[in-house]
Structure 1
Amino acid sequence: MTVLSWDRYLAVCSPIKSIRMRRTTIACFVLLLCSSLAVILLLPVVMNATVVHVDVQTGSLIIGNQNDTLHLDQHNHQQHKHHHHHITQTKCIFEESNPTFMYYTFACGFLLPALLITYFYLNVIIRLHKSVANVHQHSFITKQRNANMRIRQVTKRIVAMILFYFFCWIPHWALNLLAHFELIVVSWSTLTLSSIFFAAHLLVCFNSAVNPILYALINRELRQQHTKALIKRCRSLSNATSTALDALIKHSHHLVECAGPLHCNFDATSGYENQQHTRKEKNNSLSSTTAVIPLCSFNNPTIAIEND
């Protein structure tokens, strides 16, 4: 029960983490852990439980009668037997004088699971109501009404399951605690008290039998909420990504528009400077050329005069 409520809590409140944890290895590990804890809790019962013979008329235990034991071996398929004009009944009992066993069994078997189940399902209900509040802000009236109806149905089923759990387990533990502290005297000869203990034990078995049906009723609604939560998370991520891309594109366009005139002015200035530079280079080249003046004479060689 506690593990199932924890699974529902993860599915509704942490859907991404729930998907990551839904693996075969993790499921086998959780089942092995629960089985180990159950064996550890019931180990004192398995080690110290004894089979006794109870006198139905007086409620007293018949222990150590060899004739009675031989008679039981010969009629082991019969629940009741007659011996020495007494009606005896075979029972398996566990009597622990140490109160530590009762305390830790009550804490680990009822109190702690009840607190965890209540905590997990209360958080599930709170998260579902928050999701409905978000739907109210971004939907029409018809969608709001449908969401309210679904949340009310899921809330009623969850509350009914929690109350049913307490209803089935509180009588069992209340009677055991009262008998342990000797506030009531347990006697098999008292038909009323025996019937009450038997009914309390039947309630525990009935709770285990009905739990799959109750979980099947709310499982569909919780799966729908789980799917909606995943879709909402994916939409929020896509919206955030698209918003960031739009902002980046707008910012880049703005930078291009602002840098356009500067780029043009820079190109014009650089072109003008290049033209001036080429003109200066041409003038320098013309001024630095060698001027050759031939002085022709029949008797003298040619004389070259260089002007820098």
Structure 2
Amino acid sequence: MSNTLVFGASGQLGQCLAHVAKQRNIPGLHFLPEDQANILNPAGLAALFAQHRPAYVINCAAYTAVDKAEDEVEIARKVNRDGVENLARLCSEYGTILIQISTDFVFAGTGNEPLTETDEAAPISVYGLTKLEGEQVIPPLTARYFTLRTSWLYSEFAGNFVKTMLKLGRERDELRIIWDQVGTPTYAIDLAGVILHLIETESQAFGLYHYSNEGVTSWYDFATAIFELSNTSVRTTPIRTAEYPTKATRPAFSVMDKTKAKTRLGVAIPHWRTSLQACLHRLADME
């Protein structure tokens, strides 16, 4: 297995990558603690590249506080754009393949057809804008990259919508959940498997890809499925986005077309309910 550096290792996807790599007995991945692997420190990054001479870099590091980013534009841009640029420059210098994680928030979400990689990106939040800027700094520096846009990540690790709903479902009698934002949940374990598949197969099909689980749902229906599959009894009430105002605007429709990933990368993608059930079983086993 090729030498691989994982940045943002303590986050949800980083933990999922470590879990899947251990499960599948995949060697050669270095999960770097943030204090030793700051993507905003070019000198520190240069030392890491010189030490490890990685064949792959997986960048899970990101500023993901969507609402907070509206007030912290500079730091969001530093992490989501400048940090990616620092990695891409070194990847170019060392011939390293960069695997960058991006988001459905690069889209405005005003349509109703599944979004392809060639559809116009028009972010409506600072988070979405800075993640798009991070995508855009890579191609001028290196052609050896995979950018994977994903959506609605959850898993048994870190904080996420599924774990929050399970907690609130036990604590409250009723929950009000948005029903007019539509997309696709993504089990981060599945995404981690795809990332490791790229490395294991030594894929050269570089470029931009969409990856989420299959299917379409709203946040309300996603929550309802969480409660149904976990046998959690709580009343749920669907509400409009306007009834739950947030600092940042979210895409109303961000379902992504995964045809390119399935055909060019050769990955099979499970339906979101299938993956949700797997996650809930693992969470139950951990209790």
TM-score, length-normalised on structure 1?
0.25
Structure 1 or 2: larger strand share?
2
TM-score, length-normalised on structure 2?
0.26
Structure 1 or 2: larger helix share?
1
